[in-house]
Amino acid sequence: MAKINFGGVEENVVTREEFPLEKAREVLKDETIAVIGYGVQGPGQSLNLRDNGFRVIVGQRKGSKSWDKAVADGWVPGETLFEIEEAAERGTIIQYLLSDAGQISVWPTIKKHLTAGKALYFSHGFGITYKERTGIVPPADVDVILIAPKGSGTSLRRMFLQGRGLNSSYAVFQDATGRAMERVIALGIGVGSGYLFETDFKREVYSDLTGERGTLMGAIQGIFAAQYDTLRQNGHTPSEAFNETIEELTQSLMPLVAENGMDWMYANCSTTAQRGALDWWKKFRDATKPVFEELYESVRSGNEAQISIDSNSKPDYRAKLEAELKEMRESEMWQAGAVVRKLRPENN
């Protein structure tokens, strides 16, 4: 574990050079990792662990679409794919990767198989941080740990197959065995993390819920829509509005930011673009800062958690979700996007 200075703040980080895959395999050589859930994070994490040489099984409801997906991915019923309860019984490390609502409903089944010395692993601090709302209170004689990849399971898997790594945070909530830290670091390396940075369960969920509702998903869709609509209202075509709002950002500019930072991206744009961006960025910051402060307080108070629990637990949740996604998908902006993507050179 190394201390890295981030703008004057020291943080604990672990790199793959410092904790190589061979060391991770040695730490977990006697463990059976049971991945419970095969939805967003389950496939990427389980497949990466399997390909990295760990003993992995998957627990999923038989007959579900996720069960069928697991079979298609090479998990074998009765050998490496089991019903949730059997997988939980077999596993010495239980990776609890169901949705937050799913974790609440299945918790009684999982809890009875958390015998002394096992480890309970999360990729989100939700269930533990909001335990008074979720009812998820682990036994005192198990390790409770977290690896939270900073991206979707799809991205984690794609980057793994490209020989790259997606950065992840790690945390230890409960160390019952004295091995929780080495277990969590080994798992972080095993799932394909680029590097690992330390957090705790509360900070992880607060930052995650804020980020998802903010710049990662909610805010960026809102800003896209506002700029696109403004251009369209002023006579610009759908193609022009989409290209200036989204295509140029995602295909040209964000890769430059990822490579060397925002200032480097600015330096590689025209002087007119530089001047305008430097003049306007603080106005956007000042306009949105109150919204982010309101959002963070809603997360901290538990309001966002309760909204998620209430809505995601309803029997018609998926139907309502699909209706909302359909509305977005069929908006003119994203219909224009579908056409633009087909016109990209790699698709012709």
The answer to whether 206 and 178 are in contact (CB under 8 A) is: no
Structure tokens at 323: 């209706």
Distance CA 196, CA 13 (A): 5
Which of 50, 124, 157, 213 is catalytic? The answer is 124
The enclosing H or E element of 96 equals strand 93-96
The answer to whether 127 and 101 are in contact (CB under 8 A) is: no
Please state, in angstroms and as integers, the Cα–Cα distance from residue 283 to each residue in 214, 280, 289, 290, following that order: 17, 5, 10, 12
In angstroms, the first-to-last Cα distance of the chain is 47
Give CA angle at 186 (183, 187), nearest 5°.
85
Distance CA 95, CA 110 (A): 11
The answer to whether 106 and 86 are in contact (CB under 8 A) is: no
Distance CA 252, CA 273 (A): 14
The enclosing H or E element of 291 equals helix 271-300
Residue at 167: amino acid letter: N
The enclosing H or E element of 186 equals helix 180-190
Distance CA 164, CA 194 (A): 7
- For residue 57, the SS3 value is strand
For 82, counting Cβ atoms within 10 Å of its Cβ (0-12 exposed, 13-18 middle, 19+ buried), the class is: buried
Would you call 113 a catalytic residue per the annotation? no
Q: Which residues of 228-261 are buried (b: 16+ CB within 10 A; e: fewer)?
A: beebbeeebebeebbbebbbeeeeebeebeeeee
Distance CA 39, CA 227 (A): 33
Q: Cα-flanking dihedrals φ and ψ of residue 215, to 5°?
A: -65, -25
Active site (catalytic) residues: 124
